Structure 1
């Protein structure tokens, strides 16, 4: 099993498929690197090196008691990039993963980065703040944490409906729902809860001001988890020269429901680099 050791000793698992220009994927909550299997296989078969890691506390990575904050997540990505000596890497972040690749650029710069892709990402701010009242109300995140602590398995099972839009006309297989629940339950409960605090309270605006690489923003128009109007739309407006694609009626989990469309859009973006 491939791992690197982060600065604090935490073992971070990663998968590394194919050869060619590297693409590094950062997963969403409460998933792990396996969410990217379709995209990784598709790109590796077309001459790219696809790399995805399990965020600390999730999947096959260690489950430390602390460190579930974006400065640490960005540091873990930096440790992975430097350990593998990646150059001209395209960073792809989904949902909360969009935050850690953005924070990586904010803290470590773009010398090794060829491009950035934000998919249904929590940038620039997900939760409500004094100077960002349009963000999601804090009570929503309080409810999520309470649900996880009371009955995580049932909460995640119920969460899948708005995540994949099955309550709004989308269809996913029973296998996908089973896999989603299984992946979520592999994670540290402490890490799962602490990440809710991290992605709901972190302000990425200063990091986004430092983005100076070609950027693609993709969001679903019917995202019930990370609302497009206050995240993806604003992010695309903030990042100079970025391209925005809005998937009509797509849910948050469009990497599954719109798999083929996403794969082709990623390939087109990569070919232009």
Structure 2
């Protein structure tokens, strides 16, 4: 079933809420929405978990305001969802851009209510290179992406799909993937790209105390595997799970292994 949750005046967030049991809150990547996890939704419900799929502001069925695409506001939106649904001892699962937003939620709003953290192909601790950080895209490359989106968003998204996956997928699947991205607001897509380019979570990782699993594709061309290694090194109670045949979209490139590892992590007593 779907909920619309008021996060601020004139802004509602859409949330899919399926199954019962321990809640697992999924935060999607840029520029998708919670439907990107449709192959996990039934899996969780069948195995005694409650799937909570958040369409972040600007994406999917959520409202698409002009502003609020920084990580602080996105994390605050998540807090409103958690409070409204009265979620307790939930698992927080962030994919790509959803990864840093999950981290910011923990460090800004506390970890007492979170049982575990799952980071999947996370765009963290930083998505772009700095003078003292040489992993990931250069800021100018993100500026180029912004320019391409402003010129022809559908064409850019078609190319982005090619980068996203390592394995071959059907043309229909790639069309579906692009259709998810086209549900986003154009301005939302651009403003989130700015956040991805500029935000920095390096000082926040060591304070995360919940058991954490880091799923990352070895062949990820969007968030390099080295980011997963950095997260594993900096987050105290973490385990890194490499997906050797996957690009960025690990749940589609290695679906069976992804689902097995997901259930194994959810059912474990800790890391």
TM-score using structure 1 length: 0.95
Question: Equivalent residue for 1:181?
Answer: 178
Q: Deviations over 1:22-61 (max 9, x none)?
A: 1000000110000011112101111001100111011100
Q: Deviations over 1:9-30 (max 9, x none)?
A: 3110010010001100000011
Q: Deviations over 1:213-272 (max 9, x none)?
A: 00000100000111111x111001101121111111310011111111111111111111
Select 2:218's aligned residue among 221, 228, 233: 221
Question: Deviation at 1:200?
Answer: 2.0
After TM superposition, the structure 1 = structure 2 runs for residues 88-237 of structure 1, keeping only pairs within 5 Å, are 88-165=89-166, 170-229=167-226, 231-237=227-233
Question: Equivalent residue for 1:263?
Answer: 259
User: What runs of 5+ residues in structure 1 fail to find an aligned partner?
Assistant: none
1:31 paired with 2:32, answer: yes
Matched residue of 1:2: which SS?
strand
Matched residue of 1:53: which SS?
strand
Question: Deviation at 1:78?
Answer: 0.5
Matched residue of 1:197: which SS?
helix
| Alignment RMSD | 1.1
Question: Equivalent residue for 1:243?
Answer: 239
User: What runs of 5+ residues in structure 2 fail to find an aligned partner?
Assistant: none
CA contact (8 A) 1:59 1:186 kept: yes
Question: Equivalent residue for 1:44?
Answer: 45
Q: Deviations over 1:120-157 (max 9, x none)?
A: 00111111123323442111101110110000001101
